[in-house]
Structure 1
Amino acid sequence: MSAFLYGVSLQWKLDIRSKSLLVTCYIVPLIFFALMGGIFTSITPEMKHTLIQSMVVMGVSMGAFIGLPPSLIETYGSDIKKVYKANGVPLYLGLVSMFISAFVHLMIMCVIIFLIAPIAFDATLPTNIPLFFAALAIYIAVSLSIGSILGLVVKNQAKLTMIAQLIFLPSIMLSGIMFPINLLPKALEVIGKIFPASWGYQLILNNGFQFKNLWYLLLVIFVALMLCGLLLKRQKSN
């Protein structure tokens, strides 16, 4: 247990110094929040009631799909994996420590948005704050599980960037955070439901923590955990 905690602590320190994580988990999401928060609430004043939820979905999606996978490639696509094997360290330790570290960083970013939005843009706080953060934690975990699969499957950094963008952009554009999802053509609305962002957004809205918004996210994380386990076994045999 002490070795596991040391690994998580070490990964946390490495991530703090990581420029990639700093950009994807803090700088870009917070700049987007600072710019678009004012635009959204000026064009559509009613947006202040869902501004916090919209901004955290965007930030979490970016950190999970674009920020986490490159770190996994650096570990499992390099000699670091051989070091793990040579020292008898379980291969899953790297994935778990990066997952936990990224989870904490994304939660910190969301808390910053949560605290600043009411002051800067007169955004409305969630009616049930503990339930909001519980739903947010679930959405972060689901998003990171998908990012973990990307980092374990894709070996090439250029391909990873392209695939991550193909997941990230539809997640944002078709999730309902930019405009009501019912304004989309039916086909795009159905496609948007494939991505967890639309379900996560509904889950963290006021009175949204219901099984109808939760079941798909639970299914995704269950499948993702199974796939990660299979991918790590394949990594071990290679």
Structure 2
Amino acid sequence: MKAFLYGMVLQWKLDIRSRALLITCYVVPLLFFAVMGGIFTSLMPEAKDTLIQSMTVMGVSMGALIGMPPSLSEIYGTDIKKMYRANGVPMYFGLVSLAFSAFVHLLIMSAIILITAPIAFDAKIPSDLPLYFTTLTAFIAVSLSVAGVLGLSVKNQAKLTMISQLIFLPSIMLSGIMFPAKLLPGILNKLGKLFPAAWGYQLLSGPKFDISIIFPLLLIFITAVILCLFLLKKQRSE
């Protein structure tokens, strides 16, 4: 157990030096927040009420869906996997350590948005912060579980980048953070609900804990975890 915890902390320290993670978990989300935060609040003053939630959903989705899968592919699609076997390291270690590291970084990024949005754009702070961080934790976990499926199932880096973007872009455009989801055609509104971002935005923006929103996120999480277990079992047999 001590070695396992040490490995996760080591992975987190290595990721701090990762240029790819720096870009996807900090630079791009925070730059998007700095630019779009001003545009949103200027064109739609009411956007201040949900600016923190919408920018957080965008940042978490980018960090998870675009930042984490390539790192997983580097582990399970290269000789690093053979090193795991040779040294008796559990096959799931790479996934768990990367997910833990990404979780911490995304939580830090979300905290930066929460702190700076009221100062920079007069954004409204969530009324119940403990509930907000509880739901944020759930949303990050679900997003990372989906990222785990992507990273384990697609070995080709170029193809993985394309697929990650094909999932990230519609999940953001159809989530309701850019414009109200009710304005979308019915089929696109339903399509958006297949992604964690739509449910995460509703959950973070809601005034209370809503089980009807938690259930779809839980279903996505359980499905993704089962797929990750299947893919890890497949990795052991290859």
TM-score (norm 2): 0.99
What does residue range 67-216 of structure 1 map to in structure 2 within 5 Å? 67-216=67-216
The C-alpha deviation readout for 1:151-184, integer Å capped at 9, x for no partner, is: 0000101111110011100111000001111111
| 1-structure distance, mates of 2:188, 2:116 | 33
Root-mean-square deviation (Å): 0.7
Provide closer, same or farther for how the CA distance between residues 18 and 184 of structure 1 changes in structure 2, counting only shifts above 3 A. Answer: same
| 2-structure distance, mates of 1:90, 1:195 | 30
| 1-structure distance, mates of 2:28, 2:21 | 10
Letter in 1 for 2:64: A
Number of the residue aligned with 1:36: 36
Letter in 2 for 1:19: R
Q: CA deviation at 1:126?
A: 0.4
| 1-structure distance, mates of 2:36, 2:88 | 48
Is the counterpart of residue 229 in structure 1 residue 229 in structure 2? yes
| 2-structure distance, mates of 1:101, 1:159 | 24
- Does the 8 Å contact 1:126/1:206 carry over to 2? no
Name the count of aligned residue pairs: 238
Q: CA deviation at 1:14?
A: 1.0
Q: CA deviation at 1:208?
A: 4.7
Identity among equivalent pairs (%): 66
SS at match of 2:126: coil
Query: Unaligned 5+ residue runs, structure 2?
Result: none
Q: CA deviation at 1:84?
A: 0.4
- Does the 8 Å contact 1:128/1:206 carry over to 2? no
- Does the 8 Å contact 1:40/1:47 carry over to 2? yes
| 1-structure distance, mates of 2:206, 2:185 | 25
Name the stretch that deviates more: 52-61 or 186-195.
186-195
SS at match of 1:113: helix
| 2-structure distance, mates of 1:154, 1:14 | 23
Q: CA deviation at 1:206?
A: 3.2
| 2-structure distance, mates of 1:66, 1:190 | 23
